[in-house]
């Protein structure tokens, strides 16, 4: 129904339906300024203009028709956006896969300042054809495929970041800063692309105040790196916990009932790293601090705890995180094997009665 409305509305206004968006589910009492504010917050990097608004009787809500006014990466267009009264729906008709691919290829080449002729020249061909068509030599097509199109395809299908806006109450699909930052650091590290592309992808995940912070920084420093953007976001939206408070939280984190000791160590590690970042524990003492807290906090792993105490009492450096986990997992495996043997023995004894 929504797609039909989009097509009919575009046909009536002589607008290309593949260059238009239909936003619906807008409350009747939502005025023009509120609609514009919501659209700008949800689609900061999408160029558009509002062509019109109407009351959609079947949905008992308003709908707005938007025309895309510039080059658009369709992955930046949300299917839903948080607005007054709840989630507003977004319907659009992306170009066909071939057209979208060619558009992305052209955007990629333009962003890098390249042309097809440049690609051919760099790859060692003196007279490349003016455009990739049927008469282009197979060698050039293969080189472009291997050196340009394949990396572009990988770029199109990269793993995206989750959403973060910096608002006091996260909207639908948004995360709190700490969880967003931890998740983002892991994904960004895996991206095998230039830093400018990483920064662009980072901006895709930002909304509201968070997007404004990076946009302002980029305006004052166009060469700002992705790492600098993340650092700035952490300074603005990160925890203001003092070094003493972080240390107290670390020292008061204990093993939970039913929790494996190895799981406790993994859960404890981010807290330890936060204490180190705050300067409450020197980096040279981090292994010793980890071991001491694991021994103190291991309330439900008696035998392993005693083994760790012996490790800490020995005159040798404390194990690092990997070594500690290996030692604990080995002890946990022994305990599980002993428990299994005891259970089998008990079953055997019961079978005699």
Tens of pLDDT, residue by residue over 223-258, are 899 999 998 998 888 876 678 888 898 999 998 988
| β-pairing verdict for 20-26 and 80-83 | unpaired
How many C-alpha atoms does 68 have within 13 Å on its Cβ side?
22
* Any domain includes 171: no
Q: How does residue 156 score in pLDDT terms, banded at 50, 70 and 90?
A: low
Query: Domain range for residue 142?
Result: 97-156
* More confident site: 225 or 119: 225
What integer is the mean pLDDT of 138-142? 55
Q: Residue 322, SS3?
A: helix
Q: How does residue 189 score in pLDDT terms, banded at 50, 70 and 90?
A: confident
* Any domain includes 112: yes
| Boundary residue ending a domain (107, 122, 156) | 156
Question: Do 287 and 190 belong together in one domain?
Answer: no
Question: Do 83 and 112 belong together in one domain?
Answer: no
Tens of pLDDT, residue by residue over 310-320, are 665 555 688 88
Mean pLDDT across the chain: 79
Q: In this structure, what token pair is assigned to residue 345?
A: 């023995």
What integer is the mean pLDDT of 14-18? 82
Question: Do 279 and 319 belong together in one domain?
Answer: yes
Q: 44: domain CATH number?
A: 3.30.70.330
Question: Do 111 and 72 belong together in one domain?
Answer: no
Question: Do 20 and 56 belong together in one domain?
Answer: yes
pLDDT at residue 131, rounded to an integer = 47
Determine the Cα–Cα distance for residues 91 and 307; give it in Å rounded to an integer: 61
From the list 25, 11, 133, 142, the residue with the least C-alpha distance to 81 is 25
Question: Do 40 and 126 belong together in one domain?
Answer: no
* Any domain includes 229: yes
* Any domain includes 162: no
User: Is residue 210 a contact partner of residue 164, using CB atoms and an 8 Å limit?
Assistant: yes
* Any domain includes 166: no
Say if residue 154's pLDDT is above 60: no
* Number of domains, the chain: 4
Question: Do 293 and 247 belong together in one domain?
Answer: yes
Question: Do 119 and 149 belong together in one domain?
Answer: yes
pLDDT at residue 109, rounded to an integer = 62
| β-pairing verdict for 86-92 and 20-26 | antiparallel
Q: In this structure, what token pair is assigned to residue 318?
A: 């404390």
* Any domain includes 163: no
pLDDT at residue 66, rounded to an integer = 92
* Any domain includes 114: yes
* More confident site: 346 or 55: 55
Question: Do 147 and 193 belong together in one domain?
Answer: no
Q: In this structure, what token pair is assigned to residue 221?
A: 């420093």
Question: Do 191 and 149 belong together in one domain?
Answer: no
Rg of the chain on CA atoms, in Å: 29
| Boundary residue ending a domain (206, 222, 237) | 237
């Amino acid at each position: 129904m929504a797609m039909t409305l989009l097509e009919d509305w575009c046909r009536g206004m002589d607008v290309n339906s593949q260059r238009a968006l239909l936003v619906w589910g807008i409350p009747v009492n939502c005025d023009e300024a509120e609609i514009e504010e919501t659209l700008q917050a949800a689609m900061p990097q999408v160029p558009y203009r509002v062509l019109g608004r109407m009351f959609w009787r079947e949905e008992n809500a308003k709908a707005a028709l938007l025309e895309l006014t510039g080059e658009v990466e369709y992955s930046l267009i949300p299917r839903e956006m948080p607005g007054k009264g709840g989630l507003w729906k977004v319907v659009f008709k992306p170009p066909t896969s071939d057209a979208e691919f060619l558009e992305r290829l052209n955007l990629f080449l333009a962003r890098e300042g390249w042309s097809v002729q440049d690609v051919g020249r760099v790859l060692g061909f003196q007279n490349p054809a003016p455009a990739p068509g049927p008469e282009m030599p197979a060698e050039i097509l293969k080189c472009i495929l291997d050196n340009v199109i394949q990396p572009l395809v990988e770029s199109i299908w990269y793993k995206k970041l989750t959403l973060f806006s910096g608002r006091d109450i996260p909207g639908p699909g948004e995360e709190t800063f700490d969880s967003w930052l931890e998740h983002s650091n892991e994904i960004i590290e895996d991206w095998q692309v230039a830093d400018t592309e990483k920064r662009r992808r980072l901006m895709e995940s930002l909304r509201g105040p968070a997007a404004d912070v990076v946009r302002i920084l980029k305006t004052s420093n166009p060469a700002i790196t992705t790492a600098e953007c993340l650092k700035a976001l952490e300074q603005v939206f990160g925890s203001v916990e003092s070094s003493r408070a972080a240390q107290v939280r670390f020292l008061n984190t204990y093993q939970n009932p039913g929790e494996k000791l190895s799981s406790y160590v993994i859960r404890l590690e981010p807290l330890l790293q936060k204490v180190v970042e705050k300067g409450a524990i020197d980096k040279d003492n981090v292994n010793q601090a980890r071991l001491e807290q694991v021994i103190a906090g291991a309330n439900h792993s008696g035998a392993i705890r005693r083994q760790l105490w012996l490790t800490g009492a020995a005159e040798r450096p404390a194990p690092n995180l990997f070594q500690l986990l290996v030692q604990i997992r080995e002890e946990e495996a022994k305990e599980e094997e002993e428990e299994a043997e005891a259970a089998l023995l008990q079953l055997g004894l019961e079978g005699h009665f």
